Structure 1
Amino acid sequence: MAISLSKGQKIDLTKTNPGLSQVVIGLGWDTNKYDGGQDFDLDTSVFLLDESGKCSSDKDFIFYNQLEGGNGSVVHAGDNRTGVGDGDDESVKVDLSNVPASIAKISFVITIHDAEGRGQNFGQVSNSYVRILNEENNEELIRYDLGEDFSIETAVIVGELYRHNGEWKFSAIGSGYQGGLARIATDYGLQVG
């Protein structure tokens, strides 16, 4: 049975699941019905961070136009432009045993594509979650439901996988940003332009 986390909680992933190396990070959301005349397109992005909390190059930024990183250890399943239907809207496979040693954290972010141009924000998004599955048997290990505490934000850092004493842990972040993906990418040390 999955362990349900609250914002700010951290949990061992590999220590409590010995031998675990292949995981799937599933992310999902629903958009509230409103008459804005524009479709929503939410995107999952992944940042591979070093000890200083920065990406060492553009190759450490995984998103719908660059689906692979970390020497193939992190693979994005691709863009879902509608978010319609049950289950995960987007997913990322991570081979924990093959993540390069220089990567200390893997940060998972959900953003709203062209949020400012479309007048959209996370106040219009509900039922957002991130979950971690054992890829071998599809067992849900960890789940974090983000709740509805965002109103004007256009991007949310949902959670991070990080190394601690040779094991992988997961932290439920739930931190909202204004300024979308560009703001987070800049904070993570990437040149945006």
Structure 2
Amino acid sequence: MSISLAKGQRIDLTKSNPGLTRVIIGLGWDTNRYSGGFDFDLDACAFLTDQNNKCPNDTDFIFYNNLKDPSGAVEHTGDNRTGAGDGDDEQIKIDFSKVPSQIHKIAITVTIHEAAARKQNFGQVSNAFVRVVNEENSQEVLRYDLGEDFSIETAVVICELYRHGSDWKFSAIGSGFSGGLAALCQNYGLSV
């Protein structure tokens, strides 16, 4: 049975789900009626950070041009450029057993590609969600629906998966950023 979370809630992933090592982070969204002449291209990303909340290397930033981290622990399944249809628009797979010991947190984010040039923002996005699915049995473990809290933001930190001792936990963040992908990269210690 899936658990539904609200912004700010945290929940244990691996302790209450013994044997959970491989998950699929499914992200989805819809766009509101928009007549700006451009399609919306939202992109999911993962930032693998150390205890200082910074990416140790550029390869710890997983996105459409770097689909897999060197350890093989985190893999982006590919870019969906339209977000059309129901269900997950993009997915990121995580194998907790392979996450390097220096990585303490995996931040899952979504940005709008070329948001400034296309005059797009998250105020024009609706029904955004993230869900965690057990890859072994395809069962949804939890879901976080973001709501409509955004206006001018062009990037959102959706959630974080973080170490707590030997276990992994999930935190529903839902924090917006202006400045798109560049602002997120700088936040996690990467130069753009």
Tell me whether 1:64 sits opposite 2:61 in the alignment. Answer: no
Match of 1:12 in 2: 12
Does structure 2 retain, via aligned residues, the 8 Å contact 1:70–1:100? no
Amino acid at match of 1:79: D
For structure 2, the residue ranges without an aligned partner over 5 or more in a row are none
How far apart are residue 70 of structure 1 and its match?
4.9
1:94-144 residue CA offsets vs partner (Å, 9 max, x unmatched):
001110001000000000000000000000000000000000111000100
Instruction: Output aligned runs, 1:154-173, within 5 Å.
Output: 154-173=154-173
Name stretches of at least 5 consecutive residues in structure 1 with no aligned partner: none
CA distance in 2 between partners of 1:35 and 1:134 (Å): 38
3-state DSSP of counterpart to 2:72: coil
Structure 1 residue runs of 4 or more that deviate by more than 6 Å after TM superposition? none
TM (normalized to structure 1)? 0.98
Q: What SS does the corresponding residue of 1:69 show, helix, strand or coil?
A: coil
What residue is the counterpart of 1:94 in the other structure? Answer: 94
Q: Is the 8 A contact 1:70 1:99 kept in 2?
A: no
What aligned pairs does 1:1-193 form with structure 2 within 5 A after superposition? 1-192=1-192
Structure 1 SS opposite 2:97: helix
**Cα contact 1:11–1:170 (8 A) shared by 2:** yes
Q: Secondary structure of 1:111's match?
A: strand
* Matched pairs, number: 192
Q: Could you state the TM-score of these two structures normalised by the residue count of structure 2?
A: 0.99
Shift of 1:20: 0.6
